Amino acid sequence: MKKDTWCVEIWGSRGSFPRPEARFLKYGGNTSCVSLIHGGGVVILDAGSGLVELGRRLCAGRLDIFISHFHLDHVQGLPMFQPFYNPETEVHIYGQAGLKQSLETLVGPPYWPVGFSDFAARISFHELRPGTEFVLNGLKVTTLGGNHPGGSILYRMDGMDSDGRKRSLVYALDCEADEKVMQDLAEFARETDLLLWDAGFTSEDFKAGWGHSTWEQGMALRRLAGAKKVVMMHYNGAYDDTFLEKLEERAREQDAAVWFAREGMRLC
Ligand SMILES: [Zn+2]
Ligand SMILES: [Zn+2]
């Protein structure tokens, strides 16, 4: 692998709960997990069930996991994350206030036979507040608060690819967009290469107060923000492949810069 590169990969595209049945597998049955390989290393966005397969592919070394919030579909891959069991690995986990305590409740008895203190890897926890900015191994990380029950953190990552071009992504899952949120997001996602979007609903199915958005809003936000590409994900557990195929067709008729995430999709 070239040292200075930029590649995003989707490991979990589903929202709420895994759907491992055959009729969901074209777009993917695993819950939220995305990896970004950049010049400085590997960054992981959310630790849903998609994290399990990603963990099997990673080499030892440093890994940084950014958690949007503690709902199960964003953390349920942690107990089975293979690098935790490797003494050659150093894992940094970032997330909302109460991060360590919340994750220790999930990963450990009685929900899991072993806890963080039993793992061989060196693991550290870093609480983040929305509206902060810092640089991690050459990658600029910016956070924004999401409109979601219990709150969520949206992430923007800015870096550079091997040709010295500026690259960026915005990870905006579990956020219900209204007019004000759309304005804030348009600034946050200004001219990003890649907007990863919460397409939990269609506008017909939208339920106010559930903390999710629609694919139509994602498409509108791409234009508003001047983002190069929007990739829909966090699909509703009821949306099977046939349904998502129709949505994707409808969306791409209106905007060729709209994509629907599938597990294994690479955006480099
Ligand atoms: Zn979710
Ligand atoms: Zn949530």
pLDDT reported for residue 1: 44
CA of 169 to the centre of ligand 2 (A): 20
Taking CA atoms, 212 is separated from 40, 182, 201, 238, in Å, by 32, 13, 7, 14
Q: Which ligand does the CA of 198 lie closest to? A: 1
pLDDT reported for residue 40: 84
Local confidence pLDDT in tens for the 268 residues of the chain = 445 589 999 999 999 999 999 999 999 999 999 999 998 899 999 999 999 999 999 988 999 999 999 999 999 999 999 999 999 999 999 999 999 999 999 999 999 999 999 999 999 999 999 999 999 999 999 999 999 999 999 999 999 998 889 999 999 999 999 999 999 999 999 999 999 999 999 999 999 999 999 999 999 999 999 999 999 999 999 999 999 999 999 999 999 999 999 999 999 9
pLDDT reported for residue 59: 86
CA of 167 to the centre of ligand 2 (A): 27
CA of 119 to the centre of ligand 1 (A): 26
CA–CA dist 122, 81 (Å, integer): 13
CA of 19 to the centre of ligand 1 (A): 14
CA of 114 to the centre of ligand 1 (A): 25
CA of 1 to the centre of ligand 1 (A): 32
CA of 174 to the centre of ligand 2 (A): 5
Q: Which ligand does the CA of 173 lie closest to? A: 1
pLDDT reported for residue 118: 96
Domain chopping of the chain, boundaries: 6-267
- For the record, the structure tokens of 164 come out as 């010295």
pLDDT reported for residue 4: 55
CATH of domain 6-267: 3.60.15.10
For the chain, helix (H) and strand (E) counts, in that order, are: 5, 14
CA of 2 to the centre of ligand 1 (A): 33
pLDDT reported for residue 214: 98
Instruction: Please give the radius of gyration of the chain, using alpha carbons only, rounded to the nearest integer.
Output: 17
CA of 73 to the centre of ligand 2 (A): 7
Q: CA triplet 260, 191, 136: central angle to 5 degrees?
A: 90
3-state helix, strand, coil in the chain (%, to 5): 25, 30, 45
CA of 161 to the centre of ligand 2 (A): 31
pLDDT reported for residue 113: 96
Q: Which ligand does the CA of 199 lie closest to? A: 1
Residue ranges near ligand 1 (ion) with Cβ within 5 Å: 15, 73, 174
H or E segment to which residue 134 belongs: strand 133-136
Beta-strand runs (E) in 175-233: 194-198, 229-233
